[in-house]
Amino acid sequence: MVRIAVVGAGVVGLTSATLLQEAFPKASITILADRFGEDTVSDVAAGLYRPGLQFQGQNQEITKKWLRDAYDYYMKILNSDYADEAGVKRASGYVFSMNNPKIVRNFLMEPVVEEFRMCTQEELDQYKMKYGTYAVSVLAECRRFLPFLTRKFEEQGGRIVKRFLNSLEELADDYDIVCNCSGFGAKDLCGDNLVTPMRGQVFKVRAPWVKHFYYVDYDTYILPGFDCITLGGTRQFDSYNTEVCKHDAQSIWERCTNFLPSLKKAEILKEAVGLRPYRSIVRVEKELMKFDSGKTLKVVHNYGHGGYGVMAAPGTSIHAVSLVKEMLGMQSKL
Ligand SMILES: Cc1cc2nc3c(=O)[nH]c(=O)nc-3n(C[C@H](O)[C@H](O)[C@H](O)COP(=O)(O)OP(=O)(O)OC[C@H]3O[C@@H](n4cnc5c(N)ncnc54)[C@H](O)[C@@H]3O)c2cc1C
């Protein structure tokens, strides 16, 4: 029996693990991670499918395939009877700017999502904005999506182990192959200095009257999920601060309530900070690791999704599963 380890229980690890179960129904699959659920970066995310233009794989073709595969994966859930349980919903809304007509467009998103169009003059007038686009996309809320994937994984016989790894070498004796979905942890685990924290701070509030998502200039966003709305944000490159900063909180609150004054009445549920695992090129790659001890380990990396890990996880994970197949030298189901 093939023994597969998945390192990481964030959205990338759990998505990879469940897709590996589909591809290798007879394999023994174990998730190893030191943080779960609300202790992961994934839990901080709003989970909207809206790729940033800096989101990249090794080339444009691969990037587009990831994005298409991810969208199709979420649409399949959206059209099922377990969409609510999985935390997947349709999300419609606006991207606005007072400064720049280019930043409201999105060549990665436009060909994929259900609807994408320029705003009408009436819409621009309503929100007192100069440039804008409207889109209908999809959102996966990790507060529901991670427990959903965890249940699915365990029901299909997957094993979950809480453990911190100092090195992937610790897995060399017990597993045939490792899928490394350690997010920001890959910086230390793989000595990958291309992984850089991109600090994000948000409010999670209750304001059920807000139905659309909004992105406005200066990283201001209002993203309604199932049970709460995410108000953001910050995008602080190379900042390791995981504490809530009161100056950031004040700025986020002012920017969001200036744009949508009704948010002043919103109930604040919590404030949260996450270090997005930014890497200039998201790493989905095979590696045969060789250690000083003489041990070797087959590894497929799947990390470095920056601010787009929720929306892109199914796409990069489908790719990672195909690399696991290649590394194990198998085309058929085991
Ligand atoms: C404010 C904010 C808003 C965001 N909004 C969105 C959004 O709207 N849409 C979107 O798509 N993305 C969004 N993101 C980005 C998204 O949250 C991340 O890209 C995504 O969560 C990365 O997932 P991950 O599984 O790689 O990492 P994580 O969720 O951090 O999981 C990493 C896992 O690896 C484990 N691990 C790491 N190192 C080790 C080790 N040495 N030993 C054992 N286990 C280890 C951890 O314990 C954890 O289980 C947002 C992020 C932030 C901060």
- Using one digit for the tens of pLDDT, what is the confidence trace for 63-98? 999 999 999 999 999 999 999 999 999 999 999 999
3-state DSSP percent of the chain in helix, strand and coil, to 5: 35, 30, 35
Query: How many whole angstroms from 143 Cα to the centroid of ligand 1?
Result: 13
Section 278-301 average pLDDT: 97
Q: Which atom of ligand 1 is nearest to the CA of 36?
A: 49
Query: Looking at ligand 1, which residue's alpha carbon is closest to its atom 7?
Result: 47
Section 169-189 average pLDDT: 98
Confidence of residue 135 (pLDDT cuts 50, 70, 90): very high
Domain boundaries, the chain: 3-328
pLDDT at 331: 47
Q: Ligand 1 pocket check: which of 276, 284, 300 to mutate, most ligand atoms within 8 Å of Cβ? A: 276
Q: Which atom of ligand 1 is nearest to the CA of 182?
A: 34
Q: What is the pLDDT of residues 188-201, one digit of tens each?
A: 999 999 999 999 99
**Average pLDDT taken over every residue of the chain:** 97
Query: How many whole angstroms from 36 Cα to the centroid of ligand 1?
Result: 10
Cα–Cα dist 219/145, whole Å: 25
* pLDDT at 334 exceeding the cut of 80: no
Confidence of residue 218 (pLDDT cuts 50, 70, 90): confident
Q: Is 183 exposed, middle or buried (0-12, 13-18, 19+ CB in 10 A)?
A: buried
Cα–Cα dist 180/299, whole Å: 7
* pLDDT at 318 exceeding the cut of 90: yes
Query: How many whole angstroms from 248 Cα to the centroid of ligand 1?
Result: 21
Q: Which CATH superfamily is domain 3-328 in?
A: NAD(P)-binding Rossmann-like Domain (3.40.50.720)
Confidence of residue 332 (pLDDT cuts 50, 70, 90): very low
